[in-house]
Amino acid sequence: MAHRFLLVDVFTEHAFSGNQLAVFCDVDGISPQQMQTFARELNFSETVFVLPPEDEANTARLRIFTPEAEVPFAGHPVIGSAFALEEHRPELRNDEDLRFEVEVGLIQVRRYRADNGRLLQAVMNQKRPTFLSETAGADEVAGALGIAASEILITGLPCQVVSTGLPFHIVPIGSLEAMGNLQPNPARMQRLGEKLGVSDICAFSFETMAADATVHARMFAPSYGIPEDPATGSAAGCIGSYVVRHRAVPRVSLTRLVVEQGVEMGRPARLHVEVHSEDDRICSVLVGGSAVIVGEGQLYGNAPS
């Protein structure tokens, strides 16, 4: 039995960059165990399976798997699915918005097109941020990342767990050079995660490679079988919320950021973040970007169920 998937590069306008994603667009009846087997076989940071929605008012239900586990939400599978469904379900091109059911709730995706109708960008809403544990000291975090604690302390910002649907330990880094020198230690990350409840780290710096980028980011998620991720939409929303919360950017009602990521992996990506706030309250978080369909394939046979 053959199961067709589309291969999509997400958070990029260029093929063979950004974050790779396999989208299985028609998988009703495949068990979660089979989905996990397919995700492990393809070994991308995430693989997404598109199912009929539980509520007919919505577009589809998405189930998202890393090579190791199912996750309740992830950014690039949502954006990539919006582009993949352009190919798989042409009738959806008349809808301005898509509504995806994921484990954390309903994600609305707005699509923006060129004058000729070509899809240029998809933007998703994320959950309002939750700010969780702050790390008491920088030494243990720095040790987990293989850098000196001074590279964190120089920023004057705390290390903190933030979630806009999926939690990440947000770690500010003082320089682009230090970002390039990160050497994560999975064992130390795991021990740190046992204290904080989250072992996945998203590090960022305000020093960037592109002049028009706001932050440079790297994300490490060994708990999900992802040594490093080239573009992480769920973490980008957390970064945007974090810098607004801690006044690391000018306080305005609409904060826009461009996150560059994946450079160290040879898969450069760009993620666009908007944080809407009133006084000290963050009202909404939007994350968007482009994607490119670069191929398609089939998996043969029935995975163990």
Same domain flag for 144 and 278: yes
Tokens of 213: 């980028």
Residue 184 falls inside a structural domain:
yes
Three-class SS of residue 154? coil
Mean pLDDT of successive 10-residue stretches along the chain, which has 305 residues = 94 98 89 95 97 96 97 97 93 90 97 94 97 86 97 96 97 98 96 92 98 98 93 98 96 96 98 95 97 95 63
Three-class SS of residue 122? strand
Same domain flag for 207 and 243: yes
CA quadruple 107, 38, 90, 291: dihedral sign: positive
How many structural domains is the chain composed of? 2
Same domain flag for 142 and 75: no
- The enclosing domain of 137 has a CATH number of 3.10.310.10
pTM: 0.95
- Residue-level pLDDT at 304: 61
46 labelled catalytic: yes
Rounded Cα–Cα distance for residues 183 and 145 (Å): 5
- Residue-level pLDDT at 175: 98
- Residue-level pLDDT at 303: 60
Rounded Cα–Cα distance for residues 37 and 190 (Å): 25
Same domain flag for 227 and 252: yes
- Residue-level pLDDT at 223: 86
Same domain flag for 28 and 107: yes
Buried b (16+ CB within 10 A) or exposed e, 153-179: eebebbbbbbbbbbbbbbbbbbbeebb
Same domain flag for 145 and 244: yes
The residues pairing with 42 across neighbouring beta strands, listed in sequence order, are none
Q: Give the domain range for residue 195.
A: 130-283
Same domain flag for 72 and 198: no
Q: Look-up: residue for tokens 């301005």?
A: 96
* Residue (of 77, 71, 59, 168) closest to 122 by Cα position: 77
- Residue-level pLDDT at 305: 59
CA quadruple 39, 19, 17, 209: dihedral sign: negative
Check 13, 41, 46, 70 and give the catalytic one.
Answer: 46
- Residue-level pLDDT at 135: 79
- Residue-level pLDDT at 280: 84
Contacts for 178 with CB less than 8 Å, ≥ 6 apart: 147, 151, 205
Contacts of 186-190 with CB under 8 Å at 24 or more apart are 186/222, 186/227, 188/140, 188/143, 188/144, 189/144, 189/220, 189/222, 190/222, 190/223
- Residue-level pLDDT at 251: 85
Tokens of 116: 């000729």
- Residue-level pLDDT at 21: 98
Rounded Cα–Cα distance for residues 68 and 43 (Å): 9
Q: Look-up: residue for tokens 């919505």?
A: 58
Instruction: Enumerate helices (H) and strands (E) in the chain, giving the number of each.
Output: 7, 18
